[in-house]
């Protein structure tokens, strides 16, 4: 599995999954999207020092609620990248599919607050849920 690194975050990814990167040279912020061949994906975004992890998780959830008014969410406290992470477990329906989405926000020494959001649908959960969760579990700070 190829090793990916963005900012102070690294992880291994399945070879058939595509990576897209965006960077803002003025602010130093970055965004990485890891897309499976199906609906599963992982989004990592550096948010800088503007918000702490809990504020970032709340803002992300509110943004999702604006797009998917019927979503259900449960607040969670977790660990990601070896540090405490604030977040939500989210479920919602869209276009006849049921989606599971996880939001986790955590503090880093070099990138400020980082948002990790991963999602898959019931259509291909059997094929992509396990590899996606393995990627997330392998996220670490360097």
Residue 45 CA to residue 40 CA, distance in Å, equals 17
Q: Where are the alpha helices (DSSP H) in 48-112?
A: 53-67
pLDDT score recorded for residue 30? 94
> Domain map of the chain by residue range?
3-141
Please report where in the chains the tokens 């969410």 appear, as a residue: 73
Residue 105 CA to residue 115 CA, distance in Å, equals 4
Q: Using the 8-state DSSP alphabet, how is residue 64 labeled?
A: H
pLDDT score recorded for residue 50? 83
Query: What SS3 state is found at 87?
Result: strand
Instruction: Give the chain's residues under pLDDT 50.
Output: none
Say yes or no: domain 3-141 is CATH 3.40.1000.10: yes
Backbone conformation region of residue 48, classed left if phi is above 0, alpha if psi is from -120 to 50, else beta: left
pLDDT score recorded for residue 26? 81
Chain segment 81-114, per-residue pLDDT in tens: 889 999 999 998 877 788 899 999 999 988 899 9
140 and 10 Cβ atoms separated by less than 8 Å: yes
Question: Does the predicted model carry a pTM greater than 0.85?
Answer: yes
Q: How large a percentage of the chain has pLDDT more than 70? A: 100
């Amino acid at each position: 599995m190829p090793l990916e690194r963005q900012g102070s975050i690294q992880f291994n990814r399945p070879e058939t999954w595509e990576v897209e990167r965006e960077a803002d040279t003025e602010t130093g912020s970055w965004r990485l999207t890891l897309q499976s061949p199906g609906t599963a994906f992982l989004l990592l975004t550096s948010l800088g020092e503007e918000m702490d992890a809990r504020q970032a998780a709340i803002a992300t959830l509110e943004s999702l609620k604006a797009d998917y008014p019927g979503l259900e969410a449960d607040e969670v406290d977790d660990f990601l990248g070896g540090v405490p992470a604030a977040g939500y477990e989210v479920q919602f329906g869209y276009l006849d599919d049921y989606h599971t989405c996880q939001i986790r926000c955590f503090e880093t020494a070099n990138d400020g607050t980082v948002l990790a959001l991963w999602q898959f649908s019931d259509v291909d959960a059997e094929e992509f849920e396990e590899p996606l969760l393995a990627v997330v579990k392998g996220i670490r700070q360097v």
